[in-house]
Copies of this chain bind each other. A is one copy, B any other.
């Protein structure tokens, strides 16, 4: 039986990023960049005001006080008011044409371009111009006592980003703030990887639709709901193929449908164990090959990987917790690679086990609650039992504790790795 790591490596060999598409920026949240993004111009694109106020030339503000003891005054107390003539009014979005001469200022709004001759902005709050009503005309003169230093309240061209800088890397999953940066740089269409398409089927004569009346011996198909939501949470598209009955023909028909839809991955649940009614393995082998069908893990040992007519097929176990864990450990990585994501592995955190945990020597993924005490994350198994059919344990859990292969006992207080759910 192969290890979890070997199984993951063997699976990943079969996946490459999907094709690239150009997408309107508005639709790019959570999509994966297919190219490095380089700034075509500086940001800010021009010197601009960081405040609503008045654009001034700092040298001008030294002169108009009467008796200044120093060339550059050090305190407000030995300083008198500077008075300047307001010669222009610069709203944000306008292109200032004025050139400030000695003794002159211009009213300027936040974000507006600094006029020639100015090298600082004095905020409106620090002047004698107290009328702040929307639409008020600019005053004729302003006075202020506050010391102004070169560059005060000015955002200089290129101070955030310089033209030519790589600002977002290929393989990054785009966050809201990234979209803003792309907008600032005028990138209205973005090269992203196409979404991976996953054909999803369940299998088993025992499965009923969620709306069907119960029948003796049957259960409702839950995996298709869980797995479809997981596929979408991984940024991929799901093609719901439905439930294959326990016949060779039914399984074959659904796999053919997946081929016809040209899915990037065929994902099934159930039908890969040693049960006599498990036809998935034999159907795959009839038109492809099975690479492995058991992994040394718990839950999730009967996990199959192969190819059917050259399409990768991952066969997850039928038990709901096993199917979920198999998805998180193998399918999520495969979808990350298919989606071109830079970071394919799911991050783990370190936690401390509250109590002793027994394991059976397989790499185990146990459902746990995490709490933080004095900066230490403490994990305790869910109150609901760890059976692979018990979905409630997953619903209660914050994390999957990873007990490595070969370990039969984790002492209380020991550090353990965990995937946050």
Q: A93-B206, A135-B279, A276-B136 are contacts. A46–B217 as well, Cβ < 8 Å?
A: yes
Q: Is A183 an interface residue (CB 8 A)?
A: yes
Query: In the complex, A26→B278 CA distance in Å?
Result: 27
Asked if A282 and B134 sit within 8 Å, CB to CB, the answer is yes
Asked if B134 and A96 sit within 8 Å, CB to CB, the answer is no
Q: How far is the CB of A280 from chain B (nearest CB, A)?
A: 8
Q: How far is the CB of A408 from chain B (nearest CB, A)?
A: 20
**Binary CB contact string for chain A from 127 to 169 against chain B (1 if under 8 A, 0 otherwise):** 0000011111010000000000000000100011100000110
Q: Is A180 an interface residue (CB 8 A)?
A: yes
Asked if A233 and B176 sit within 8 Å, CB to CB, the answer is yes
Query: In the complex, A43→B390 CA distance in Å?
Result: 8
Query: In the complex, A52→B289 CA distance in Å?
Result: 24
Query: In the complex, A421→B248 CA distance in Å?
Result: 48
Query: In the complex, A94→B133 CA distance in Å?
Result: 78
Asked if A395 and B217 sit within 8 Å, CB to CB, the answer is no
Q: Is A103 an interface residue (CB 8 A)?
A: no
Q: Which residues of B contact A222 (CB under 8 A)?
A: 179-181, 183-184
Partner of A29, one of B93, B177, B224, B232: B232
Query: In the complex, A205→B111 CA distance in Å?
Result: 11
Q: Which residues of B contact A221 (CB under 8 A)?
A: 183
Q: Is A281 an interface residue (CB 8 A)?
A: yes
Q: Is A407 an interface residue (CB 8 A)?
A: no
Query: In the complex, A50→B318 CA distance in Å?
Result: 11
Which of the listed residues A134, A214, A278, A282 has the most CB atoms from chain B within 10 Å of its own CB? A134
Q: Is A12 an interface residue (CB 8 A)?
A: no
Q: Output the nearest chain B residue to A49 by Cβ-Cβ distance.
A: B275
Q: Which residues of B contact A20 (CB under 8 A)?
A: none
Q: Is A204 an interface residue (CB 8 A)?
A: yes
Q: Which residues of B contact A187 (CB under 8 A)?
A: 210
Q: Is A308 an interface residue (CB 8 A)?
A: no
**Binary CB contact string for chain A from 197 to 214 against chain B (1 if under 8 A, 0 otherwise):** 000000011110111001
**Binary CB contact string for chain A from 342 to 363 against chain B (1 if under 8 A, 0 otherwise):** 0000000010000000000000
> Which stretch (A1-9, A61-69, A381-389) binds chain B?
A381-389
Q: Is A110 an interface residue (CB 8 A)?
A: yes
Query: In the complex, A391→B161 CA distance in Å?
Result: 10
* 8 A Cβ contacts from A383-421 to B: 384-385, 387-392, 394-395, 415, 421
Q: Which residues of B contact A138 (CB under 8 A)?
A: 276
Asked if A277 and B92 sit within 8 Å, CB to CB, the answer is yes
Query: In the complex, A207→B223 CA distance in Å?
Result: 48
Q: Which residues of B contact A133 (CB under 8 A)?
A: 276, 282
Asked if B248 and A134 sit within 8 Å, CB to CB, the answer is yes
Partner of A276, one of B29, B46, B107, B184: B107
Asked if B387 and A175 sit within 8 Å, CB to CB, the answer is no
Q: Which residues of B contact A282 (CB under 8 A)?
A: 133-134
Q: How far is the CB of A335 from chain B (nearest CB, A)?
A: 14
Q: Is A125 an interface residue (CB 8 A)?
A: yes
Partner of A183, one of B26, B159, B210: B210
Q: Give the 4 A-B CB pairs with smallest separation, nearest first.
A: A93-B206, A176-B229, A95-B216, A93-B205
List 28 A-B residue pairs with CB atoms under 8 Å apart, sorted by A's residue number.
A25-B210, A41-B214, A52-B274, A91-B246, A95-B216, A109-B275, A110-B275, A111-B318, A112-B217, A133-B282, A134-B276, A134-B278, A134-B281, A134-B282, A136-B276, A159-B390, A160-B385, A160-B391, A161-B392, A167-B392, A176-B226, A176-B227, A177-B394, A180-B225, A180-B320, A182-B210, A184-B222, A188-B210
Interface residue ranges, A against B (CB under 8 Å) = 25-26, 29, 41, 43-46, 50, 52, 91-96, 107, 109-113, 124-125, 132-136, 138, 155, 159-161, 167-168, 175-188, 204-207, 209-211, 214-230, 232-233, 246, 248, 273-279, 281-282, 318-320, 324, 350, 372, 375-376, 384-385, 387-392, 394-395, 415, 421
